[in-house]
Amino acid sequence: MNSRNILEFAVTTGERMLANGCGTHRIEGLINKILEPCKFRNHEIFVTTTGIVITVESTDEGVITVMKQVPKKKMHTEHISLIEDIVNSFVAGELTAEQALVELKNADSKATYPYWVTILAYGMAGCFRTLMFGGQIIDGLVSICVGVCMGIFVQALNAKNTFTFLVNCCGGFVVGFLAVLFMRFGMGSMLDKIIIGTLMPIAPGVPFVHSVNDILHGDYTSGMTRAYEAILTAAAISTGVAFAMILWKLLGGNISL
Amino acid sequence: MRTVLIEMLLASLACMFFAIVYNTPKKELVFCWLFGGIGYGIYYYLVKFCSMGTFANFFGAFAIAILARFTSNRREIPVMVYVLPSVFPLSPGGNMYNACYALIMNNLDMAMTETMKCIKIVGMCVIAILIVLSLPEGIFKNRDKAKA
């Protein structure tokens, strides 16, 4: 077995897992699982939220270190389970490192849901959260419209690799602006309920849970990184909403929130 | 009791759509729907009828994590696929947004209260999830074999 190929496979696995939003301790465990049966003299793995370093010491090729940076992240749980399947079949000996690498690249291009389902999901999740916060049925309907618009906006900006802070800021702005617009036309009864409910799909509640999970596992570096990310996202969203409110005030009219 | 059921239904649907945002595999959506509803139902019942505070989040997340652990062992899929979308109604996304918004609007009292609430809720959820995840594998494996 070529140690260079195995290392390439291991580092690509880690990179894909990290880009799809997996926790770092889990990635370390997975890479360990890949490298353990390959009989290296020594191996060391270091994973943070923004990059991976793997060092392997083999008898015939000496010390090799591979490093990979992962700048952009999104949540994609189907890819995570696909990658785990590939790793399991590699460990069981059904795939060689080269085949596994090809499979890994194939798995990445697989889309789970068509575009419109994802967009609709943003709206519907927002709608049901609005109803849970105590909104009326009409608030829920407004929330679907606003949420779908926000989904289109966020997805389009993400596809263009825009700065993350700006994406969230624009998302917040769109929600705030459209919610007030709907209220102006007499649709919806409670502005704050609509805004907060619609923002829930991009609000960082779940990432924050993830980050504290990492911290309690002992991964202070990645946990703190994630926590800062979550706080920054919340700040970006509320900045966007505040901008929308200020704009509406400038355009004339009294908004009480 | 009727309000609890309605809230459960709303929460479970919210969870399911949120799971789509997270690109959960199609076959696992049903479980996210179910666990989200059950977890939030427990939380809501405890808050409404037992007048429990943040501790209700603990029991909600605990139930979600245990159910997720069982299913993940049966279907051989990572636990987090089930836990993350299901814990969505319990997670303090709204509080975090409120805290930041209050800070921007120079409403410092509200910002502080919301931040503290947010930290309390996250702590409770994560401790519950961690307790379940650190239980030995054997408990879930044996039950699995008995069922199959």
Residue A45 and residue A143 in one domain? no
Range of the domain at B37: 2-142
pLDDT at A175: 92
Name the token pair of A92. 């069981």
* Tens-place pLDDT, residues A61-92: 788 888 988 877 777 888 888 888 888 888 88
CB contact under 8 A, B88 and A208: no
The residue among A207, A205, A191 whose CA lies nearest residue A133 is A191
Say how many domains are in chain A.
2
- A76 in any annotated domain: yes
CB contact under 8 A, A128 and B13: yes
d(CA A125, CA A152): 14
pLDDT at B62: 92
Residue A60 and residue A33 in one domain? yes
Residue A98 and residue A193 in one domain? no
A1: confidence class by pLDDT, cuts 50, 70, 90: low
CB contact under 8 A, A204 and B93: yes
Single out the residue in A108, A141, A166 at which a domain terminates.
Answer: A108
- Chain B residues within 8 A (CB-CB) of chain A? 7, 10-11, 13-14, 17-18, 20-26, 77-78, 80-81, 84-85, 87-89, 91-94, 96-101, 103-105, 118, 122-123, 125-127, 129-130
Residue A130 and residue A78 in one domain? no
- A255 in any annotated domain: no
Amino acid identity of A4? R
* Tens-place pLDDT, residues A122-135: 999 889 988 888 88
* Tens-place pLDDT, residues A136-166: 888 889 999 999 999 998 888 888 888 888 9
Residue A184 and residue A120 in one domain? yes
Cα torsion through A32, A33, A38, A43, rounded to 10: 0
Enumerate the residues of chain B whose CB falls inside 8 A of the CB of residue A242: 101, 104-105
Residue A135 and residue A45 in one domain? no
* Tens-place pLDDT, residues A87-125: 888 888 877 878 888 888 887 777 778 888 889 999 998
* Tens-place pLDDT, residues A38-60: 778 888 888 888 889 998 888 87
- A256 in any annotated domain: no
State the complex-level ipTM: 0.83
Single out the residue in A108, A125, A159 at which a domain terminates.
Answer: A108
- A257 in any annotated domain: no
Residue A104 and residue A186 in one domain? no
- A190 in any annotated domain: yes
Q: Is A218 helix (H, G, I), strand (E, B) or coil?
A: coil
Say how many domains are in chain B.
1
Single out the residue in A108, A126, A151 at which a domain terminates.
Answer: A108
Range of the domain at A189: 115-250
Enumerate the residues of chain A whose CB falls inside 8 A of the CB of residue B129: 209, 213
- B148 in any annotated domain: no
- B147 in any annotated domain: no
- A131 in any annotated domain: yes
A218: confidence class by pLDDT, cuts 50, 70, 90: confident
Residue A121 and residue A209 in one domain? yes
* Max Cα–Cα distance, chain A, nearest Å: 76
Regions of chain B short of the pLDDT cut 50: 144, 147-148
Residue A22 and residue A127 in one domain? no
d(CA A204, CA A172): 13
